[in-house]
Amino acid sequence: MNTNSTPKILIIDDISQNVQIAANILKDDNYNITYALSGRMALEKMKRISIDLILLDIMMPDMNGFELCSILKANPETSEIPIIFLTAKADIDNISKGFSLGAVDYITKPFNGNELRARVKTHLNLKQAKESLEQANFFKNQLLSIIGHDLRGLVGNTNTLFQMAELTFEKSPEKAKKFLSLGKESAANILVTLENLLEWGRIDNLDSNFDLRKNNILESINCCVVLLKNIAKNKNINIIVKQNCESDFALFDKRMIDTVIRNLIANAIKFSKEDSEIHLTVKDQESYLEVTVKDYGIGMTESKLSQINDFGKAATSEDGTSGEVGFGLGMQIVNKFLEQHDTKLKVTSQLDQGTSCIFKLQKATHMHQQLL
């Protein structure tokens, strides 16, 4: 069930008056309500439209509610739709049979309006929560697969580089020095990946871990630049930091925003060509500070951009311009941490022209002195 769409409810009852009564009770709850006067009509309708919840009468001619429920639960495309049985009497045998067939609840007729609305809302919320959990688990499994791939590649690459440095040390110290430098770069990439994994572990408890304070954004940027300077140096990339603002102070969780900046710089280095530049700019934007990380690298396609902008999708791991193994997880964390700050990452990119990543943070004023 798409959380941004109106839930679709199918009322199935052979008596049109009962359908009308139920529809009138639910009409003010922003549901998309449709109906069927028989089981066969319901099956035909469900071939054309997707349904989020079914209100199903038990006693119907030709095909009763139990028979229809069995058919729906046997079909993988409809088996997860919650079914609430409508019954004229609270007969224990009917209720037990309904639950055994997969129904989630029952309501007796004549309807109590408040009860009907409450039960429909409850089971729609449960369905949405279940789907969200399944999506989150699927997403995390994808990310763990990507991380496993990344770490295997990074560790293997680092080990090879240090072995090559050892083998060439006596005959060619300069070559050995180069291998050591590349090995240090690979080790730094392992550190970034592991730090991302640790930060990912915080995502399920962001609210309790959120530490909003008055912090210096330029200080955070410079610390991240220092951390990643060796990786940039190996590709002869010059990182330039520019300040176009009256004050460097903004309101943010330092650990989260440092992680955001670190990942944006790491990605910019990864997808930049050798002998190029990366520009980091902080400028005033009314009541916000706007941070931009701009590279002049290989850029991205529209489909890749949509992946980055969709937190619900695990971005595929891609190698950089010098064969750097992809992180996969980083941009997902960036999006989630910025969301916690009530802001979003704006990404613009053109193939072979480079990429700009922009986000805003609320400026800190003298009113926020207590948050230091």
Domain assignments of the chain as residue spans, ordered by start: 8-111, 202-371
Q: Decide if 299 contacts 350 (C-beta within 8 A).
A: yes
Q: What is the pLDDT of residues 35-82, one digit of tens each?
A: 999 999 999 999 999 999 999 999 999 899 999 999 999 999 999 999
Give Rg (Cα) of the chain. Answer: 28
Distance CA 252, CA 241 (A): 20
Q: What does DSSP assign to residue 75?
A: S
| Cβ-proximal residues to 212 (8 Å cutoff; 6+ apart), any chain | 251, 252, 253, 371
Residue 155 pLDDT: 82
Distance CA 13, CA 35 (A): 8
CATH hierarchy code of domain 8-111 = 3.40.50.2300
Distance CA 353, CA 304 (A): 15
Residue 22 pLDDT: 95
> Which residue's entry shows tokens 């090559």?
164
On the question of a common fold for 8-111 and 202-371, the answer reads: no
Residue 250 pLDDT: 95
Element (H, E) at 339: helix 330-340
| CATH superfamily, with its number, for domain 202-371 | Histidine kinase-like ATPase, C-terminal domain (3.30.565.10)
Q: What does DSSP assign to residue 111?
A: P
Mean pLDDT by 10 residues, the chain (372 residues): 79 95 93 96 95 95 94 95 87 83 92 94 93 78 68 77 88 87 78 71 64 93 89 90 91 92 92 94 93 94 73 55 60 85 92 93 72 54
Residue 190 pLDDT: 78
Among the listed residues 315, 304, 291, the one whose alpha carbon sits nearest the alpha carbon of residue 349: 304
